[in-house]
Structure 1
Amino acid sequence: MADVSKTDNLPFPILIGDIGGTNARFSILTDAYAEPRHFPNVRTADFPTIDEAIQKTVLDTTSVQPRSAILAVAGPIDGDEIDLTNCDWIVRPKAMISELGFEDVLVLNDFEAQALAVASLPAEYREPIGDSGEPQLASRVVLGPGTGLGVAGLVHAQHTWFPVPGEGGHVDIGPRSDRDFQIFPHIERIEGRISAEQLLCGRGLVNIYRAICAADGIDPKLAIPADVTALGLSGDDRQAAETIELFVTYLGRLAGDMALIFMARGGVYLAGGISQKIVTALKKPEFRIQFEDKAPHSELMRTIPTYVVTHPLAAPAGLASYARAPSSYGISTDGRRWRR
């Protein structure tokens, strides 16, 4: 393992933030041995800026004032102003240092944080999908259908975990079955293409449902993801039930593709709220059938385990693990860390 300078350690107390498209979760880690103190979840729509959310929900409510911050954000990190993909907040680390009093701010990708979590996720926090045995100490993949679709890799080399953030949720996805070819013409294209995130997230559930209704020649009755999920899982609405079946099908195909890209013998982990809500559907045969249907490598795919992450705060747990011992992970902070 490469020698890491002591300057890689952020000064405690550390604010930990998991910033998604809909919700933000904050906690404070007072030292390397403490358990994080969690604050109530924040709806991103309730605050015009992340700075105001931090000030009002954290800094104004505790006497423990963090000296540094590690933030995981849903979007690519490029420059001093970081736009989030699925909400209006903009992360400005320099402004956080000058106005909120931080000495040190590190910004990671939100699924990089999920990857940190699954590096050492205990068995109690992973629900197996299929029967492929225990994961190997090998590269892994995390996928998370939620407000958007997050994807990250976790490469294991030289006794170190290297999270690999990316925007894999925006890869192209296309039809395979006869039913797919009936449905896909009714899915809206964005700049000429259909990406995985248009199907495999909350709004994706609605997109699939509407396309099924259009293919069946009926008017859609449902408009929000929670209704599609509830009626689909109960079987009380035929189009919603097929929506869940196809969602699982497409998620299985994409998960298998990502497993091949990373040679993820350590497993594929499904994070995010949607995965936890549809565990019963994921445990049906279709997910693993689609996951393994990768000729000429179907036999290899059968050896790769798949799980649903059930930890209620997986990403913050991953960030806390890094904050305690940054030298245990191969994370480059170049262009992603700001100091006073």
Structure 2
Amino acid sequence: MSDAHIQAMPFPILIGDIGGTNARFSILADEHGEPHEFPTVQTAEFPTIDDAIRQVVLDGTAVRPRSAILAVAGPIDGDEIDLTNCDWVVRPKTMISELGFEDVLVVNDFEAQALAISGLPEQYRESLGTAGEPHVASRVVLGPGTGLGVAGLLHAREAWFPVPGEGGHVDVGPRSERDFEIFPHLEPIEGRISAEQLLCGRGLVNIYRAICLADGIEPALSIPADVTAHGLKGENLQAAETLSLFVTYLGRLAGDMALIFMARGGVYLAGGISQKIIPALKGPEFRAGFEDKAPHTELMKTIPTFVVTHPQAALAGLASFARKPSAYGISTEGRRWRLER
């Protein structure tokens, strides 16, 4: 039995991208059609994911999905899948018994982002730097948003293999003189500074507060969007420096991940924050942090970097997999539930 046959799921297929803050759904009626999208909802507005699916999807269309592919922000382990940054718990067996699905596959949210970058059209990406077009080769996607997602994408045997993980929780440390002034004031998590403590919404505020404390200034901002807005406009010196350091640290981490995966196919920035700060990412700090990887600086200069601008990238990636599962190497073991007949 081929992998493609094992992975094929019956249409119509409900596709879901469940993050810490927002949930996005669409239905793919068949292999050739375009997905029918539903309004994006906030996870906090519904007590459970099942309630969201009932009210947003099932009550909003006459099409009855036979199967579901859900990308969730959190590790997938067992029949009850806890999301990292929201209160929802995904229970595939309950979805089958109560929502009428025959088949449910749950993948990591950044696995879906990795699927999306396998064939992202040029109009849905913004280039950072001048490294040129991506090769058909290993790639990396990073997404600063509510949290920080990281995934790899390998190319072998004419197929794409997403590599999900928890790379957003690696350690980061100070390098520059300014870093050493700021880092003692950063809020750690259980005694350490992880990438996600800096490179997400709360990370923006963490950096901003640390800068204010290092400078002996009372912090005036407490919401990530305010820090970003004041930083982009240059209306607040500490907010502007926060944005500069944020893109520097993001560039350093992106470069680290590019080295780990030898990502000659490019590094892609997804997540809610990346699209909002494109002007800052196009400044010199991001690529400087990305390329400063001696003894491999020259190699790093050849690796392209992009911001993903597709409004529903994860859904698009899942739809690509649903249409042609044989083009992707996705393991379904322990992540797929079927109706017992």
TM-score clears 0.5: yes
Identity of paired residues, percent?
78
Q: Report the CA distance between 1:7 and its aligned residue.
A: 3.7
Change (3 A) 1:212 1:3: same
CA shift digits 1:72-95 (9 cap, x unpaired) = 000110111101111010000011
Aligned to 1:148: 147
Aligned to 2:295: 296
Aligned to 1:78: 77
For structure 1, which runs of at least 5 residues remain unmatched after alignment? none
CA shift digits 1:303-329 (9 cap, x unpaired) = 000000011110000000000011110
Aligned to 1:170: 169
CA shift digits 1:117-150 (9 cap, x unpaired) = 0000111111100000111110000000000000
Instruction: For 2:31, give the aligned amino acid.
Output: A
Aligned to 1:335: 334
Q: Report the CA distance between 1:62 and its aligned residue.
A: 1.0
CA shift digits 1:13-71 (9 cap, x unpaired) = 10000000000000100000110000011100001100011011111121101010000
Provide the rounded CA distance (Å) in 2 between the counterparts of 1:335 and 1:4.
Answer: 15
Aligned to 1:67: 66
Provide the rounded CA distance (Å) in 1 between the counterparts of 2:206 and 2:190.
Answer: 16
Provide the rounded CA distance (Å) in 2 between the counterparts of 1:271 and 1:121.
Answer: 12
Provide the rounded CA distance (Å) in 2 between the counterparts of 1:221 and 1:27.
Answer: 40
Aligned to 1:317: 316
Aligned to 2:194: 195
Q: Report the CA distance between 1:4 and its aligned residue.
A: 2.5
Provide the rounded CA distance (Å) in 1 between the counterparts of 2:198 and 2:144.
Answer: 9
Instruction: For 1:84, give the aligned amino acid.
Output: L
Aligned to 1:274: 273
Aligned to 1:115: 114
Q: Secondary structure at the match of 1:15?
A: strand
Provide the rounded CA distance (Å) in 2 between the counterparts of 1:338 and 1:303.
Answer: 43
Provide the rounded CA distance (Å) in 1 between the counterparts of 2:218 and 2:189.
Answer: 23
Instruction: For 1:179, give the aligned amino acid.
Output: R
**TM-score, normalised by the number of residues in structure 2:** 0.98
Q: Report the CA distance between 1:298 and its aligned residue.
A: 0.5
Aligned to 2:104: 105
Provide the rounded CA distance (Å) in 2 between the counterparts of 1:297 and 1:8.
Answer: 39
CA shift digits 1:250-272 (9 cap, x unpaired) = 00000000000000000000001
Aligned to 1:227: 226
Q: Is the 8 A contact 2:49 2:88 kept in 1?
A: yes
Provide the rounded CA distance (Å) in 1 between the counterparts of 2:130 and 2:268.
Answer: 14
Aligned to 2:182: 183
Aligned to 2:57: 58
Q: Report the CA distance between 1:3 and its aligned residue.
A: 3.5
Q: Secondary structure at the match of 1:251?
A: helix
Q: Secondary structure at the match of 2:303?
A: coil
Q: Is the 8 A contact 2:135 2:264 kept in 1?
A: yes
Instruction: For 1:36, give the aligned amino acid.
Output: P
Instruction: For 1:256, give the aligned amino acid.
Output: G
**TM-score, normalised by the number of residues in structure 1:** 0.99
Q: Secondary structure at the match of 2:65?
A: coil
Provide the rounded CA distance (Å) in 2 between the counterparts of 1:178 and 1:6.
Answer: 56
Q: Secondary structure at the match of 2:187?
A: coil
Q: Report the CA distance between 1:188 and its aligned residue.
A: 1.2
Aligned to 2:90: 91
Q: Does 1:255 align with 2:254?
A: yes
Q: Which runs of 4+ in 1 moved over 6 A?
A: none
Equivalent pairs, count: 339
Q: Does 1:160 align with 2:129?
A: no
Q: Is the 8 A contact 2:4 2:325 kept in 1?
A: no
Change (3 A) 1:210 1:339: same
Provide the rounded CA distance (Å) in 1 between the counterparts of 2:160 and 2:173.
Answer: 32
Aligned to 2:242: 243
Provide the rounded CA distance (Å) in 1 between the counterparts of 2:267 and 2:278.
Answer: 15
Q: Does 1:14 align with 2:13?
A: yes
CA shift digits 1:125-183 (9 cap, x unpaired) = 11100000111110000000000000000001111100000000000011101111111
Provide the rounded CA distance (Å) in 1 between the counterparts of 2:14 and 2:192.
Answer: 39
Q: Report the CA distance between 1:5 and its aligned residue.
A: 4.8
Give the superposed CA RMSD: 0.9
Q: Secondary structure at the match of 1:32?
A: coil
Q: Is the 8 A contact 2:268 2:308 kept in 1?
A: yes
Provide the rounded CA distance (Å) in 1 between the counterparts of 2:5 and 2:286.
Answer: 45
Q: Report the CA distance between 1:189 and its aligned residue.
A: 1.4
Q: Secondary structure at the match of 2:260?
A: helix
Provide the rounded CA distance (Å) in 2 between the counterparts of 1:110 and 1:180.
Answer: 31
Q: Report the CA distance between 1:191 and its aligned residue.
A: 1.1
For structure 2, which runs of at least 5 residues remain unmatched after alignment? none
Instruction: For 2:330, give the aligned amino acid.
Output: I
Instruction: For 1:140, give the aligned amino acid.
Output: R
